[in-house]
Amino acid sequence: MKKIFLLLLMIFMVSGCGGESQNKTPAEPEKKSVEQTPAPTDKKILVVYFSRTGEEYNVGNITKGNTAIVAEYIAQKTGADTFEIKAAKPYPDEYEACTELAKKELESNTRPAIEKNIDNLAQYDTIFLGYPIWWGAVPRVLLTFLEANDFSGKTIIPFCTHGGSGLAGTEREIADACPNAKVLDGLAVVGKTAQNDFPAVQKDVDAWLKGLDY
């Protein structure tokens, strides 16, 4: 079909019947259609996160975790798939009890079991990784997930929610757990803001993603 089209086009040009349009190169229409097609990409994005519901610092009893809210918005904006890390044994709903357990886990550097691991990580190049700050660190269950998978050659973009301490150097912890991954600077969102002020979350995430060229 293309050959016939080119042949007809050549006859058309040689015969000089093109009038004004003979100045146009035959390649023009093809070029236009190429430009209109978005660049093909096989790079897939994943948002992985751990988040807790129940009684939480400064927000009362929540049915959707602060980090989950941010995670879902990042996924919506980037068209990413999501994977939620869940502890095999759920953390207590009561805030105080949860902080005590988390403190013990941190002190003993435990790796709590996860409910299930992801089975298709290989197909993703970029992973947004979300978590709450627990005792100035990432929850140990996040490390269980990171150490159970191979992040070689992947880009990890951390984001956290917190009660005031910000990222607290957690990018370093992630880089240590995934030595062959590239770990970018993260985003920190105050938990109460995530829970109660969604427009502020949108504004912060939009600006951050823009800075990352998303």
Ligand X SMILES: Cc1cc2nc3c(=O)[nH]c(=O)nc-3n(C[C@H](O)[C@H](O)[C@H](O)COP(=O)(O)O)c2cc1C
Binding footprint of ligand X on the chain (CB under 6 A) = 51-52, 56-57, 65-68, 95, 98-99, 102, 132-136, 161-165, 191
- Of 98 and 146, CB closest to ligand X: 98
Phi-psi region of 58 (alpha: psi -120 to 50; beta: other; left: phi over 0): left
Give kind and range of the element (H or E) at residue 191: helix 191-196
Identify the CA nearest to 53 among candidates 41, 40, 62, 42.
Answer: 62
Smallest gap from residue 54 Cβ to ligand X (A): 9
Question: Which pair of tokens denotes residue 75?
Answer: 């996924």
Q: Rounded CA gap, 177 and 171, in Å?
A: 10
DSSP state of 23: G
- Of 12 and 95, CB closest to ligand X: 95
Give kind and range of the element (H or E) at residue 211: helix 198-211
Q: Rounded CA gap, 110 and 89, in Å?
A: 13
CB-nearest residue to ligand X: 191
Smallest gap from residue 161 Cβ to ligand X (A): 3
Smallest gap from residue 183 Cβ to ligand X (A): 20
Smallest gap from residue 154 Cβ to ligand X (A): 23
- Of 18 and 90, CB closest to ligand X: 90
Smallest gap from residue 38 Cβ to ligand X (A): 34
- Of 36 and 157, CB closest to ligand X: 157
Contacts of 6 (CB under 8 A, 6+ apart): 26
- Of 64 and 182, CB closest to ligand X: 64
Identify the CA nearest to 190 among candidates 157, 156, 159.
Answer: 159
